[in-house]
Amino acid sequence: MRLVCWRCGFQTEYRPGLYTCESCGEPLLVDGDFRESLRREGTLIPQELRTVTLGEGKTPLIKSREGIYLKLEYLNPTGSFKDRGAATAVSEALCRGCKLIIEDSSGNAGISYSAYAGRAGIRARIYVPYDAPPGKKNMLRALGAEVVEAPTRDEAARLAVNDQEGCYVGHRINPYFLEGMKDLPLELVKELDDVDYVVSPLASGTLLIGLWKGYRELVEVGMVKHVPKLVAVQACGYESLAKYYKPYMSVCRSKAQLPDGIRLTDAPRLQHMAEILRESEGLYVVVDDELVLPYLRELWREGVVAEPTSAYGYAVARELVKDGSISGRIVVILTGNGIKHVSGGMIL
């Protein structure tokens, strides 16, 4: 397993704890033997990153009444797609002898990391913003994590990075976390072959970059013809990608409150995300709670208990289909489970 930098071409053999490029500072990517993993075990994830598991992945794909495919990532072990990344990232941390992992999170990533740390028999310390949903904070504590509250999401990130006591495994820069995402496109390809659009909410970009990396590898082995057009959705007031990529559509009347998973004003991999959208001829869309709320209700009334952040992706897919901007085979990734929200007091 090697590490590479997409931006400057830096390469190195695996080095424990090295996440960012020594030459330009960009978070690194894993360059592993996916062909061998795929041929032998039907996964794109390198073998050394598969030691800790709770049965993540292989989530259902259903078709909504409106004909849009919904990938139910909220049915992962702790209720979000982040379980895929926590499995591989904790595997790597365990492998290099970490006894305490440190993460910053608005909720879901911390919950995933806490569960997988528990599974691996090591401790987890999670920095969260104080206004993270109470249901999520309760879950972190129930899973045995040490919860440290910070004034904002960005401050939580700063504090976690500077905590020297354990191994910082932050999903925002962790190359091994991204690797865990790659079987998501593999599952889509097995069920649907070629897809025209994949729509997902965007914060740290682990899902977008993981989708792109998985699809690229599947194109390389000839399992699929091309990477689908990727549609990235951000919330009003948190449009960090706008610095690097022009929104195709922006409906922004008030600062978003609902989607706790994407209320992040900065992320380390933004330039790479913009590059990926350019390469896949993807779209970037910014919307607000007012536009999304009816679609969140629509999902729940259809029995799909996705969290508000996921509804951002679904709302944009529905709007873009309505106005004829996108068509064909469309998949929306429903990233997180809404049960964590209703148990914390959300009323729809």
Residue ranges in contact with Zn ion by CB under 5 A? 5, 7-8, 10, 21, 23-24, 26
Instruction: Please compute, for residue 238, the number of CA atoms within 13 A of its CA located in the half-sphere on the CB side.
Output: 28
Q: Which is nearer to Zn ion, 256 or 267 (CB)?
A: 267
Q: Which is nearer to Zn ion, 174 or 310 (CB)?
A: 174
Strands 29-31 and 2-4, by their bridges, are antiparallel
- Cβ 110 to Zn ion shortest distance, Å: 28
Tell me the CA distances in angstroms from 200 to 15, 130, 208, 236, 299, one per residue in order: 31, 25, 7, 15, 15
Residue appearing with tokens 């889509």: 188
- Cβ 2 to Zn ion shortest distance, Å: 14
- Cβ 23 to Zn ion shortest distance, Å: 5
Q: Which is nearer to Zn ion, 8 or 221 (CB)?
A: 8
- Cβ 243 to Zn ion shortest distance, Å: 19
- Cβ 8 to Zn ion shortest distance, Å: 3
- Cβ 26 to Zn ion shortest distance, Å: 5
Q: Which is nearer to Zn ion, 6 or 81 (CB)?
A: 6
User: Quick one: which H or E segment has residue 168?
Assistant: strand 167-168
Strands 69-71 and 61-63, by their bridges, are antiparallel
Q: Which of 35, 46, 144 is nearest to 91 (CA)?
A: 46
* Dist CA 159 CA 71 (whole Å): 34
- Cβ 280 to Zn ion shortest distance, Å: 22
- Cβ 274 to Zn ion shortest distance, Å: 16
Q: Which is nearer to Zn ion, 272 or 340 (CB)?
A: 272
Instruction: Please compute, for residue 56, the number of CA atoms within 13 A of its CA located in the half-sphere on the CB side.
Output: 30
CA 294 to chain centre: 24
Q: Which is nearer to Zn ion, 23 or 265 (CB)?
A: 23
3-state secondary structure of 331: strand
* Dist CA 220 CA 234 (whole Å): 30
Task: Specify whether the CB–CB gap between 244 and 208 falls below 8 A.
Answer: no
Other Cβ atoms within 10 Å of 16 Cβ, number: 11
Q: Which is nearer to Zn ion, 27 or 282 (CB)?
A: 27
* Dist CA 275 CA 29 (whole Å): 15
Q: Which is nearer to Zn ion, 21 or 111 (CB)?
A: 21
